[in-house]
Structure 1
Amino acid sequence: MTDSSVRDYEGANVRTTTTGWTAGRVTAVVVGALLSLVALTLIGGGAAAAYYGSQDDGYIDLGTSEFAHRTDTYAMTTESWRADEQLGGLYDDLRITFKPDNASDPVFVGIADAGRMNQYLGGVQHVTIHDSSAKGDTQSKHEGGTPKTPPAQADVWVAKAGGQGAQTLNWTVKPGEVAAVAMKADGSRGLAGHVTVEARVGALAGIGYGLLAAGLIVLAGSLFLIVKPVRRARARTA
């Protein structure tokens, strides 16, 4: 049957007309619209990844600096974790900065194997921070005395930084469980401040450009699926 035809029924001329929108064309447009949403998501994510990958050597702020930390003990530590498994193992480097509330405080920041950290802090009064929020830290306190040696003199750290005021350490991520510590550089008690943790994903810019390219390809395919049936339907209708 043609889109527009004339038939004779008992001597009367009757014209029948179709719109040109077949089930296949409708399906193609719907699939094309869905693919265009996927394409826009890929393009948006790719653009963001490419941008952040090109800024500040690819370091991404993990959003920890808004939380305040305080202890009247000799040290505060994190729970142990595996940085090599974070974000699917894409982290290459970590950058940790501790900024004391009192800029004149001598500060020490260190990362150590979890076992060696426990060895250094065994018998030392300190706290382990489990979680942080605007209301404060959720932490557990470990009783003990003073450190036997100032932290900088301990041979347990895979990365460390110390001095007066804000201190930043840089660590190339390695396999294994580690923990981080912040304390007074002279080993005295009491410390308050903010921690900024940044991670560098070396392949982030490349991932971003790859997502952008994939998004553009998918977008081109989605436009083809939409435009072609629309033109055919209009041509048949005309």
Structure 2
Amino acid sequence: MTYRGADVSAEETNTRGRSAGWTAGRIAAVVVGGILSLVALTLVGVGGTAMAMAFQDDGYIDLGTDRYAHRTDTYAMATDGWNPDKAMGGLQESLRITYTPDNAADPVFIGLADEAGLRQYLDGVQHTTIHDSGAKGDTQTEQPGGAPKTLPDQADMWLAKASGKGAQTLKWTVQPGDVAAVAMKADGSSGLAGHVTVAAKFAYLSWIGVAFLVAGLVLLVGSVVLLIMRPVRHARRRTV
């Protein structure tokens, strides 16, 4: 009887030792909980950033174009055509384009037009088309011609425009179709130098931020349950 009792006591001790150790289930719970917490924190960070962007600067997000300087001796600097309605998943709701001349006293003009309309206006005008920009300068093509026959502010094909001395800003609600932008001297003279800043407002950005935040918080609660609540519950069971 003495030996049998000792065997039973030893068996109970070994069973408790095994239950108190790192079982496969507990290891899996910790791994899954850790992964969930990382995903949750990422979602919370993305959601918070989206919310902040949605409420700063009237919801416009700078696309980083202002770090490149542009210069031409011609009468205009134009862009290639692009379709904002299809860019970035079709989420662009509004565009804001600002042209800041190096010389604040220069009377400048910026305009956004249907691509075909702008090409027609620039036909016969000496101008530069900028294809791409980088730290080493612009990749561009110069078209021969002379001065514009019609001052830019007097043309009637613009979807949005702005003119005056110093920095000028236009805003345009995105519509389907290919568009192009141009910067010129308002008086039709040649020679331009400055920076262009393009910003976009994205539809549903605040709601996207809320969705990411909620999803992140739900996953964070799940990870807390796996990493903390479950081990505590097992520990309480062992002490009973």
TM over 0.5: yes
- C-alpha separation in 1, matches of 2:40 and 2:180: 40
Shift of 1:139: 1.0
SS at match of 2:160: strand
- CA deviations over 1:162-221 (Å, ceiling 9, x no partner): 112211111011111111100111211110011111111242222212211111111101
**1:188 and 2:182 matched:** no
Which residue of 2 is the match for residue 221 of structure 1?
222
- Closer, same or farther: CA 7–171 of 1 in aligned 2, 3 Å: farther
In structure 2, what is the Cα distance between the partners aligned to 1:24 and 1:7? 31
The corresponding residue for 2:33 is 32
Task: For 1:147, give the aligned amino acid.
Answer: P
Farther off after superposition, 220-229 or 42-51: 220-229
Q: How does 1:50-199 map to 2 (within 5 A)?
A: 50-199=51-200
Give the SS at the match of 1:8: helix
SS, match of residue 117 in structure 2: helix
Query: How far 1:236 moved relative to its partner?
Result: 6.2
Give yes or no for contact 1:94–1:173 (8 Å, CA) kept in 2: yes
- State how many pairs are aligned: 231
Quote the offset at 1:127 in angstroms: 1.0
Counting only pairs closer than 5 Å after superposition, residues 12-23 of structure 1 correspond to structure 2 as: 15-16=13-14, 17-18=17-18, 19-23=20-24
Distance 1:67 1:130 in 2: 13
CA distance in 2, matches of 1:124, 1:90: 35
Q: Deviations over 1:57-103 (max 9, x none)?
A: 11111111121110001111111111112221111111111111111
Q: Give yes or no for contact 1:29–1:225 (8 Å, CA) kept in 2.
A: yes
1:133 is displaced (CA, Å) by 2.0
- Residue equivalent to 1:3: none
Are 1:79 and 1:129, in contact at CA under 8 Å, matched by a contact in 2? Answer: yes
Once superposed, what is the RMSD of the aligned Cα atoms? 2.0
| % identical aligned pairs | 60
Looking at structure 1, the residues matched to 27 and 232 of structure 2 have their Cα atoms a distance apart, in angstroms, of 12
Distance 1:159 1:7 in 2: 92
CA distance in 2, matches of 1:13, 1:232: 25
Q: In the TM superposition, what is the alpha-carbon distance from 1:226 to its structure 2 partner?
A: 1.8
Conserved 8 A contact 1:20-1:233 = no
Amino acid at match of 1:216: L
Q: Whose strand fraction is larger, Structure 1's or Structure 2's?
A: 1
Give me the whole-angstrom Cα distance separating, in 1, the residues matched to 2:27 and 2:6. Answer: 28
Structure 1: stretches of 5+ with no match in the other structure: 1-5
Alpha-carbon distance in 2 for matches of 1:78, 1:38: 40
Shift in Å, 1:13: 5.5
SS in 1 for 2:176: coil
Task: Say if 1:7 and 1:108 are closer, same or farther in 2 by CA, change over 3 A.
Answer: farther
- Render the CA deviation track for 1:213-236: whole Å, top value 9, x for unaligned: 111111101111222432245346
